[in-house]
Chains A and B, each alone.
Chain A
Amino acid sequence: MAGVRLEHVFKKYPGTDKASVTDFSLDIQDKEFLVLVGPSGCGKSTTLRMIAGLEEISEGKLYIGDRVVNDVAPKDRDIAMVFQSYALYPHMNVYQNMAFGLKLRKFRKDEIDRRVREAARTLEIEHLLDRKPKALSGGQRQRVALGRAIVREPQVFLMDEPLSNLDAKLRTQMRANISKLMKRLETTCIYVTHDQTEAMTMGDRIVVMKDGLIQQAATPEELYNHPVNLFVAGFIGAPAMNFITGQLSEEGGAVKFKATGVNVEVPQGKAKVLRDKGYIGREIIMGIRPEDLHEEPVFIEASPNSVINASIEVSENLGHEMYLYLNGLGKDNVIARVDGRAGLQEGQNVKLAIDMNKVHIFDKDSELNILEA
């Protein structure tokens, strides 16, 4: 087993001015499950492909374990890859598919057999070993693709959107299976996805990327609760964080945040930071997670300085919870996630209290989280 280290790695394609990956430095620990996440074109797959050896590194160093592998061929890097298009070998049965890589590496027959059967047991596909890929369902095929990687017993697993081709239900199931499997195998895994739910539920640590740059690398909790900038705050979380642009002012010793339909008091701790950094009188962006807007009377009573009124444009009842799309707060719709039994209707006016202890405040120009900087 081994960790992976990237030191000031750049990827620049010939004929382009801008690097696809810029100054990527990261130390991935042995046995860590690291997720690279970001929107399409952010450089996450390119980074993974550089680690795999499928893309040349333009600048910087890549270590697997203690070895610099920039010039090592993919097959000699001791890695196993699982891609979105998990192409199985169609003319071979499941057993042969899983054994193929080992056969090519001249493993002994009994060793191949041991590894294949063990992996098949782990993935619960023992009963499928004689079947050809055409006779398998999508989920079964995905498990065979995983099995093919597992039997190699590599130092590092690289997975690029391996669940994208599965339907929503199967994805949720396979997500849990892969997490469980990686914990059991105790092998370093680097996993690429565009799906923040996948990232949040699977990763020990998540790297959020945008335009080829690392925005933040942190644990899921840290990313959710302490995003360093507006992009990370908006990318992590579903429904996404609400952003309201408004002005800070000092009134009677308290710091107030004012925007269309919003006039709330900033708690003392946060107010002190804003004062110290000279933000009073300036425009800022306030970020509020949908679950930090409360309709419960108890909460509203306890927070008289952070109450807002809005009208419900759309309500989506998911049973256990309800999403309210609110009008009249700032420029855009604000989404509140409330109890599914709140019985609120579209068109109704509603009183809500913002949990001001949990709001995030961003600089309007730099988009950095003022409270985390």
Chain B
Amino acid sequence: MNKTRLQRLQQLLAAPVEAMTITKKAWTAEGGAKNPEPGDYLQRGEAFWLVVKTEGAELHILQSEAKLTPLERELLKWALQGGATKPAGGITDMENQARRLGDWIQQSIGAGDWRAEIPDRLELHNRLFDGMIPFLLLSEQSDAREPSYVELEKAFRSYISDEMLLIPIREREWLILGSDRLLAEVDTTEEELVEREETKEALQSLATGLHQMFTEEWGGECHVAVGEPIIPTESLVYTVGMLRETIYLGRKFHVGMQVHLPWLIHLERLLNGIPEPVRTRFMEEMAGRQDLFADPETVSTLDAFFAMDCNVSETAKRLFIHRNTLLYRLDKLKQEAGLDVRSFNDAVLVRIMLLLYKVTKRK
């Protein structure tokens, strides 16, 4: 439940309300029903717990000390079970099927079963045998209303094609599967995209377009990750997990970026996997050189330099500065920090330091 809705509920109940996540085990240990559903209520001394959503072994609950009448409790249950939020026309079969698939994906990820095969009982199983491009979209819009499935599906259909599937995974997180034929439409020459690099370029432009479409035409700010085409029956859970990780790492290491590509965050994934004490020690050893990133101009210069594969001319072009100005800045860095980013070993060190600096700076 987002902040605005929580604030409204607090106003309605005239008491503080806290959103929490607990395990089903904790719920049953406190005397809650065995298979909790949204709207289930549990009195714990002065406070009560109210289930908002179930997600695998986890429960999203609200905790408050507000005194509720039985009628108020029933009304809250009705609202949480969807009575108040569903579109006038009700849920379509398609939405039901997509939500069931989404729940299954989420449960499989929660259980750590990233190689799970899609069970036959899920109706959409039969539509997942063709090559598809997976996009994961995470909305960051803070307004109260979560976009309705029907509206959202229509917008994505307009952008991608009728051959697409929209699968809600978690609150404000959707998997969008578009036909891999879309790649051919990006190319101007109508030829097939055989080169892997070209495919990646096309995928990036499709994801950037999707981000722009959602931001501008539909629902505000969001993050998008795109993966290479897959046969969903073979690797759907793994793909969602990998794209979710991509967004997580992208947001952590590259603040300000909204489109995230799994093939560009290998180093970030590796750094993120290094235990915190090791990372801290590395930064401490480099401590004398940390102030080197205090100047935003240095950071933007280095970002551009690494983005352009350490090519001086291309970096200068990208930064709209003269080549000599760039060389002057790099020389200054060499003098001040003793690190020459034009040499491979120093470039690796500075790149790692820069990534870690961006993370530690925000702590």
Where the two chains meet, the residues of A that have a C-beta atom closer than 8 Å to any C-beta of B are 40-41, 49, 53-56, 71, 73-75, 80-81, 83, 85, 87-91, 100-101, 103-104, 131-135, 167-168
Contact A41 B219 (CB under 8 A): no
Give the docked Cα–Cα distance between A53 and B320 (Å): 31
- B143 CB within 8 Å of chain A: yes
A156 to chain B, nearest CB (A): 14
Give the docked Cα–Cα distance between A55 and B144 (Å): 14
Contact A134 B217 (CB under 8 A): no
- B142 CB within 8 Å of chain A: yes
A296 to chain B, nearest CB (A): 31
Question: Which residue of chain B has its CB nearest to the CB of A54?
Answer: B221
Q: List the A side residues contacting B221 at CB < 8 Å.
A: 49, 54-55
Using A40-B296, A73-B143, A103-B158 as known contacts, say yes or no to A90 and B186 having CB atoms under 8 A apart: yes
Q: In residues 186-216 of chain B, which contact A (Cβ within 8 Å)?
A: 186-188, 202, 205-206, 208-209, 211-213, 215-216
Give the docked Cα–Cα distance between A80 and B217 (Å): 9
- Starting from the known contacts A87-B208, A89-B213, A91-B206, 19 additional A-B residue pairs (CB-CB under 8 Å) come to A49-B221, A53-B220, A54-B215, A56-B142, A71-B144, A73-B143, A75-B220, A81-B215, A81-B216, A87-B209, A87-B212, A88-B209, A89-B209, A90-B186, A91-B182, A100-B158, A104-B218, A132-B187, A133-B205
- B159 CB within 8 Å of chain A: yes
Q: List the B side residues contacting A89 at CB < 8 Å.
A: 159, 209, 212-213
Q: In residues 56-107 of chain B, which contact A (Cβ within 8 Å)?
A: none
Chain B, residues 323-341, CB within 8 Å of chain A (1/0): the string is 0000000000000000000
Q: List the A side residues contacting B158 at CB < 8 Å.
A: 100, 103-104
Chain B, residues 149-174, CB within 8 Å of chain A (1/0): the string is 00000010011000000000000000
Give the docked Cα–Cα distance between A263 and B209 (Å): 61
Contact A54 B213 (CB under 8 A): no
Give the docked Cα–Cα distance between A366 and B90 (Å): 63
A67 to chain B, nearest CB (A): 15
- B30 CB within 8 Å of chain A: no
Give the docked Cα–Cα distance between A328 and B89 (Å): 80
Q: List the A side residues contacting B205 at CB < 8 Å.
A: 87, 90, 133-134
Give the docked Cα–Cα distance between A99 and B184 (Å): 21
B285 to chain A, nearest CB (A): 28
Q: List the A side residues contacting B159 at CB < 8 Å.
A: 89, 100
Q: In residues 286-309 of chain B, which contact A (Cβ within 8 Å)?
A: 296, 300
Question: Which residue of chain A has its CB nearest to the CB of B178?
Answer: A91
A163 to chain B, nearest CB (A): 11
Give the docked Cα–Cα distance between A87 and B159 (Å): 13
Contact B206 A90 (CB under 8 A): yes
Chain B, residues 110-153, CB within 8 Å of chain A (1/0): the string is 00000000000000000000000000000001111100000000
Give the docked Cα–Cα distance between A17 and B208 (Å): 33
Q: List the B side residues contacting A56 at CB < 8 Å.
A: 142
- B185 CB within 8 Å of chain A: yes
Q: List the A side residues contacting B182 at CB < 8 Å.
A: 91
Question: Which residue of chain B has its CB nearest to the CB of A80?
Answer: B216
Contact B141 A41 (CB under 8 A): no
Q: List the A side residues contacting B144 at CB < 8 Å.
A: 71
Give the docked Cα–Cα distance between A131 and B217 (Å): 22
Number of residues from B at the complex interface, CB < 8 A: 32
Question: Which residue of chain A has its CB nearest to the CB of B181?
Answer: A91
Q: List the A side residues contacting B296 at CB < 8 Å.
A: 40-41
A174 to chain B, nearest CB (A): 14
Q: List the B side residues contacting A88 at CB < 8 Å.
A: 209
Question: Which residue of chain A has its CB nearest to the CB of B211?
Answer: A87
| 7 contacts across the A-B interface (CB closer than 8 A) | A87-B208, A89-B209, A90-B209, A91-B209, A100-B213, A132-B187, A167-B317
Contact B216 A90 (CB under 8 A): no
Contact B186 A132 (CB under 8 A): yes
Give the docked Cα–Cα distance between A81 and B212 (Å): 10
Using A87-B212, A90-B186, A91-B182 as known contacts, say yes or no to A101 and B320 having CB atoms under 8 A apart: no
Contact B141 A75 (CB under 8 A): no
A185 to chain B, nearest CB (A): 18
Q: In residues 205-240 of chain B, which contact A (Cβ within 8 Å)?
A: 205-206, 208-209, 211-213, 215-221
Question: Which residue of chain A has its CB nearest to the CB of B190?
Answer: A132
Contact A134 B188 (CB under 8 A): yes
Using A87-B208, A91-B182 as known contacts, say yes or no to A104 and B155 having CB atoms under 8 A apart: yes
Which interface residue of B144, B188, B317 has the most chain A CB atoms within 10 A?
Answer: B188
Q: List the B side residues contacting A53 at CB < 8 Å.
A: 220
Which interface residue of A80, A132, A168 has the most chain B CB atoms within 10 A?
Answer: A132
Q: List the B side residues contacting A87 at CB < 8 Å.
A: 205, 208-209, 211-212
Contact A134 B186 (CB under 8 A): yes
Give the docked Cα–Cα distance between A91 and B158 (Å): 12
Which interface residue of B212, B219, B296 has the most chain A CB atoms within 10 A?
Answer: B212
Which interface residue of A83, A133, A134 has the most chain B CB atoms within 10 A?
Answer: A134
Give the docked Cα–Cα distance between A352 and B317 (Å): 37
Give the docked Cα–Cα distance between A55 and B221 (Å): 8
Using A74-B215, A134-B188 as known contacts, say yes or no to A54 and B143 having CB atoms under 8 A apart: no
Which interface residue of A53, A83, A90, A167 has the most chain B CB atoms within 10 A?
Answer: A90
Contact A168 B208 (CB under 8 A): no
Contact A73 B186 (CB under 8 A): no
A64 to chain B, nearest CB (A): 16
Q: List the B side residues contacting A135 at CB < 8 Å.
A: 188
Q: List the B side residues contacting A41 at CB < 8 Å.
A: 296
Question: Which residue of chain A has its CB nearest to the CB of B206?
Answer: A90
Question: Which residue of chain B has its CB nearest to the CB of A89?
Answer: B209
Give the docked Cα–Cα distance between A134 and B300 (Å): 27
Give the docked Cα–Cα distance between A103 and B182 (Å): 20
Question: Which residue of chain A has its CB nearest to the CB of B320?
Answer: A168
Q: List the A side residues contacting B143 at CB < 8 Å.
A: 71, 73
| Cross-chain contact of A85 among B186, B187, B208, B317 (Cβ < 8 A) | B208
Q: List the B side residues contacting A81 at CB < 8 Å.
A: 215-216
Give the docked Cα–Cα distance between A75 and B222 (Å): 14
Q: List the B side residues contacting A80 at CB < 8 Å.
A: 216
Q: List the B side residues contacting A133 at CB < 8 Å.
A: 205
Using A56-B142, A100-B158 as known contacts, say yes or no to A91 and B218 having CB atoms under 8 A apart: no
B11 to chain A, nearest CB (A): 15
Q: List the A side residues contacting B206 at CB < 8 Å.
A: 90-91
Question: Which residue of chain B has its CB nearest to the CB of A16?
Answer: B362
Q: List the A side residues contacting B211 at CB < 8 Å.
A: 87
Give the docked Cα–Cα distance between A14 and B182 (Å): 40
A139 to chain B, nearest CB (A): 15
